[in-house]
Structure 1
Amino acid sequence: MPATAPLATDGIDESWDLARYAGWLRIAHHIPGRIRLKLAAEGQGSLNDVLADVKRFVATASTAPGIRAVSLNLLARSCLVEYDPKQIAPAAWTDLIDGTRSAEALALTHRLVGTDRHPA
């Protein structure tokens, strides 16, 4: 199966649509283990809706396995995510932002929505 073929969501809430990020996030800088995401000026929806999505992303990413730290700078309209590239494929971020339903993006989505969390 090609990496860009649609994949089953395996129980992921459909409100966490991978393509939703394509409209309001872009990758400003990325090296394995560290990615800076910028809030795109052409983002869709009201500012309150976008901020709610950003805050939800930060809250879920902050506790996801493989993510070391998340910092949000609303003035700079950016979010820095430090992650373990051994646990999260660097390509997963590009696919997630582009809305590509690759296996890597789906695995990252599972982590972000909590379906990949392990009890302590």
Structure 2
Amino acid sequence: MSVDTDFPLLRFARALVIAHHIPGRVRLKLDGPISGDLKNLAEDAKRFSAALAATAGIRTIALNPLAKSCTIEYDPAIIPSAAWAGFLSGTSVPGTEILLQTLVSAAKA
């Protein structure tokens, strides 16, 4: 899927790294120091979380603003484990389409 990378949720996703991952649970962390408008960053984090919460296979999402992290519990039968690394890096692996389409739909809403 070709997606315009110039919308806030995808730019936000590209600033995340996987801090810990076991099938069914992934912890994402905002990479690097916080710069720019903290209010916008917090809003992007909330929109990112809400968008993923609407995705089939996502069970729970817990934001931790102080740790700049987000823990996501998901169904690995619906979202393959490899999809997370592909999604964050922008590479196409099985399952990235589900996650990417979620953010595209949220950006249009």
TM normalised by structure 1 equals 0.70
Partner of residue 118, structure 1: none
Q: Which has the higher contact order (CA 8 A, sep 6+)?
A: 1
Quickly say closer, same or farther: Cα 1:50–1:35, change in 2 above 3 A.
same
1:105 aligns with 2:100: no
1:94 aligns with 2:85: yes
Matched positions, count: 106
Partner of residue 42, structure 2: 51
Q: 1:15 aligns with which of 7, 16, 40?
A: 7
Structure (1 or 2) with the greater helix fraction: 2
TM normalised by structure 2 equals 0.76
Q: 1:72 aligns with which of 57, 60, 63?
A: 63
Quickly say closer, same or farther: Cα 1:96–1:44, change in 2 above 3 A.
farther
- The residue identity in structure 1 corresponding to 2:74 is Y
Percent of counterpart pairs with the same letter? 41
Structure 2: 5+ residue stretches without partners: none
